[in-house]
Amino acid sequence: MSRPNVEGLAVAPGAGPLVSAEDVAKSYGGVQALKGVSLSIMPGEVHGLVGANGAGKSTLIRMLAGLAQPDAGRILIDGQPTVIATPHRAADLGMNFIHQELAFVPGMTVIQNIMLGLPKASRFGMVNWGAVAREVAPVAARVGITAPLFASVKGLSTAEKWLVNICRALMRKARLIVMDEPTASLSAAEGEKLFRIVEDLSASGVAVLYVSHRLDEILRLCHRVTAFRDGRSVAEMPRADLSRAALVEAIVGRGVDGVVRSPGPPPAGDVVLSVRGLARQPRVTGVSFDLRRGEVLGIGGLVGAGRTELVRLIYGADRIDAGTMMLDGRPFAPRSPAVAVKAGLGLVPEERRAEGLLLTKSVAFNLQLANLDRVVHGAAFPLIDKRRRTSLAQSVIHDLAIRTPGADTPVGRLSGGNQQKVVMGRWLLRGPKVLILDEPTRGVDVGARGEIHRLIRDLAARGIAVIAISSEPDELPDLCDRVLVMAEGRVLRELAGPALTRNAIIEASYAEPVLEGAPA
């Protein structure tokens, strides 16, 4: 393989790629996640990796990390075909990975987290933390860690935790650091600090694979960029050819629109929820929209767009900084989720296993959680009527075709799709005015996805107003009457009817936000 032309990067004459993937393919359960991707990373290069959700970026990263093996193609390290069988092997090869979900042991100190899994100086059979600290201190100072090394990580900000992860990678003598959406949870000032560190790492010879939906960051930092689309690598661009338009065209492609649901007349119901100027800095900035009875309103956008943060404000899980809401024409300002539920809202969270279900409890128990008033004997005798609870549970199991041995089966034993139906069934029993669904089909198979879509449309047909958040641009056109596309905490575009397509959602997601007061 010829050495790539990497403008602006000092590479030793004759040096070849540090890491290469050549025509790599991978299937999961008969579905091809990668159909043939190729990528090469030079020593000291900041290499951008871009693509829409589901393009295959995460699958390739899992292979580099030793968490999955290719079905076809090969991975080369320093030009040699290499099997990366385990994460330990990846680390031995000099590759370190910093994911969106930062790896930490909360009960440990900063230095203990930095040195996780690394050999440590010892004395008399005990770790010599003084000697370890003298070894770590210059590296910590290099990346800008100001927290005391022996302080707990519990009080660190997200930006400080990123620095700890970078320090850990350098202590492992990393030759390549993979950063997945590094600024998704950082402020602008924190992001600037991270950019300087990335540039310093590159100057010192450490390669960085920078995975981000934020094209401005890609344009600023990267020597080259590889674009994935639908499981294939479709473009490799040197710095000289990089532009926002070129990146968007590579990510979106042309003529790849998904199936669009035949648009009928827009829902004619009354406005049930009106939102004006809703804000919680820095994640949500001045969002306004109306939601009608019987409507399915989609919210699309990229990681860090502010979608989940927006619905948390509506649901009373977070306090708003500014803005107003009206529910059925009356002021609505829930101070807690309990107040929102009482007013007629329901929420199916993104992390159903962690936030929506008690996995060791039964299907019937989980269905009752928002419906205790329907399963107790009475206010004067507030004990659960198990017969009534079972009867209600069986009606939901039948209506939603939940596949379970019975109402008393622990919900943790059900498939992902059936678990999601249980969470949705809880609200079906309650009959909310507004139902919020955050990633309703994440982690479910194709069959369950279709069933959940039909259930959502059925709920809308009953007059329930639905807000559906999805990271999959293929999903929203088939499901929703309208879609609001968000970026940087703002609504950039509203799409409906023939304009509501997969490509339109992706293009809007990558549009550059126009700040208030900026010239049009």
Sheet architecture: strand order including 490-496: 345-348, 434-438, 465-469, 296-301, 482-487, 490-496
* 89-131 pLDDT tens trace: 999 999 999 887 677 788 899 999 999 888 888 888 888 999 9
What CA–CA distance (Å, rounded) separates 69 from 61?
11
What CA–CA distance (Å, rounded) separates 293 from 329?
13
> In this model, does residue 196 exceed pLDDT 80?
yes
Pair type for strands 465-469 and 296-301: parallel
* 383-441 pLDDT tens trace: 777 888 888 888 888 888 888 888 889 988 887 788 888 988 888 888 899 999 998 88
The pTM score is 0.67
Q: What are phi and psi of 192, to 5 degrees?
A: -60, -40
The token duo for 492 is: 């950039």
Q: What average pLDDT does the chain have?
A: 85
Name the residue among 450, 499, 458 with its Cα closest to residue 475: 450
Task: State the average pLDDT over residues 171-189.
Answer: 84
Pair type for strands 122-123 and 126-127: antiparallel
Q: Which of 145-154, 255-264, 287-296, 367-376 has the lowest mean pLDDT?
A: 255-264
DSSP-derived 3-state class of residue 148 = coil
Name the residue among 502, 499, 482 with its Cα closest to residue 491: 482
Name the residue among 418, 427, 468 with its Cα closest to residue 448: 418
Architecture of the 1-94+175-255 domain: 3-Layer(aba) Sandwich (3.40)
Asked whether 320 and 313 are in contact (CB, 8 A), the reply is yes
* 254-310 pLDDT tens trace: 544 444 444 555 565 799 999 999 999 888 999 999 999 999 999 998 877 889 999
CA atoms within 13 Å, Cβ hemisphere of 235: 21
What CA–CA distance (Å, rounded) separates 331 from 343?
11
What CA–CA distance (Å, rounded) separates 21 from 14?
19
Asked whether 463 and 280 are in contact (CB, 8 A), the reply is no
Asked whether 342 and 371 are in contact (CB, 8 A), the reply is no
What CA–CA distance (Å, rounded) separates 388 from 407?
12
Torsion sign over Cα 446, 452, 453, 455: positive
What CA–CA distance (Å, rounded) separates 46 from 42?
8
| Amino acid at the residue 512 | E
User: For the chain, what percent of residues have pLDDT higher than 90?
Assistant: 43
What CA–CA distance (Å, rounded) separates 489 from 513?
9
> In this model, does residue 199 exceed pLDDT 90?
yes
End-to-end, the C-alpha distance of the chain in Å comes to 46
By CB atoms closer than 10 A (0-12, 13-18, 19+), residue 441 is buried
Sheet architecture: strand order including 46-50: 80-81, 72-77, 19-28, 31-41, 232-238, 224-229, 46-50, 207-211, 176-180, 95-98
The token duo for 319 is: 């306090």
What is the pLDDT confidence band of residue 517, given thresholds at 50, 70 and 90? very low
Which carries the bigger pLDDT value, residue 246 or residue 254?
Answer: 246
What CA–CA distance (Å, rounded) separates 351 from 438?
9
> In this model, does residue 88 exceed pLDDT 60?
yes
Residue 513: per-residue pLDDT: 59
Pair type for strands 224-229 and 46-50: parallel
Asked whether 30 and 78 are in contact (CB, 8 A), the reply is no
Measured in residues, the chain has a length of 520
What is the pLDDT confidence band of residue 472, given thresholds at 50, 70 and 90? confident
What CA–CA distance (Å, rounded) separates 6 from 238?
6
By CB atoms closer than 10 A (0-12, 13-18, 19+), residue 227 is buried
Name the residue among 315, 427, 418 with its Cα closest to residue 368: 427
Domain boundaries, the chain: 1-94+175-255, 105-173
